[in-house]
Amino acid sequence: MKKFLKVFLLCTIMLPFVGCFSVKQMPSKTEYYLNEEATMDNIYKISLNDILSQDHFQDVEPENDHYLVLEFKITNISSETQTIDVQKSFQLKIDNTLYPDLNHNKDTEIAPQESIMYQLIYDVNEMDHYEILFYSGIVDNNIKFITK
């Protein structure tokens, strides 16, 4: 009986401490397609809304096959202003080559509960699909948007 009482008391004392620790979980789904909405770290909701192929951009022909135009809707679902870092947030990498966004986006602040449309333009060769990574600030924490 004394053993049972000791175990019960120990469990009762430890229960509040165990509840204080939380483990940050990665979303179970990390790959998204056109019009699928991803939630990232309870900070952003993001979706790839449109995919276009263009032969010209600002009256300039592409060096590769065409211009890939991607339009994202990004919503800040946090209570603080968030910044989309043009150099780090989106990355298109093909065969270990990082492609620059030709749209000359600037770092963009998004107020709480505000949504923006964010357009990226890449000069790329024709492929059956492209994979664009979105980073929320942590290198290991990314989601992938796949065009088809």
Please, are residues 35 and 50 in contact by the beta-carbon 8 Å criterion? no
- d(CA 139, CA 33) in angstroms, rounded, equals 21
Give me the pLDDT at residue 23, please: 41
Using DSSP bridges, classify how beta strands 115-124 and 44-54 pair: parallel, antiparallel or unpaired: unpaired
- d(CA 93, CA 133) in angstroms, rounded, equals 8
Please, are residues 75 and 115 in contact by the beta-carbon 8 Å criterion? yes
Q: Which two tokens stand for residue 36?
A: 């699928």
Give me the pLDDT at residue 41, please: 84
Specify the amino acid at residue 40.
Answer: M
pLDDT in tens, the chain (148 residues): 556 555 555 555 655 554 444 344 455 688 999 999 999 888 999 999 999 999 988 888 999 999 999 999 999 999 999 999 877 889 998 998 999 999 988 899 999 999 999 999 999 999 999 999 998 766 567 899 999 8
**Which of 75, 47, 77 has the alpha carbon at shortest distance from 143?**
47
Q: Which two tokens stand for residue 135?
A: 């980073």
Residue for token pair 């998204």: 32
Q: Read off the pLDDT of residues 26-68 as tens digits, 9 standing for 90 and up.
A: 556 889 999 999 998 889 999 999 999 999 888 889 999 999 9
Q: Is the pTM of this model over 0.85?
A: no
Domains by residue range for the chain, with CATH: 27-146 (2.60.40.1240)
Give me the pLDDT at residue 79, please: 96
Give me the pLDDT at residue 21, please: 43
The alpha carbon of 135 is separated from its chain's Cα centroid by a whole number of angstroms, namely 5
- d(CA 43, CA 112) in angstroms, rounded, equals 9
Give me the pLDDT at residue 71, please: 97
Specify the amino acid at residue 124.
Answer: V
| Backbone region of residue 41 per phi and psi (left: phi > 0; alpha: psi in -120 to 50; beta: other values) | left
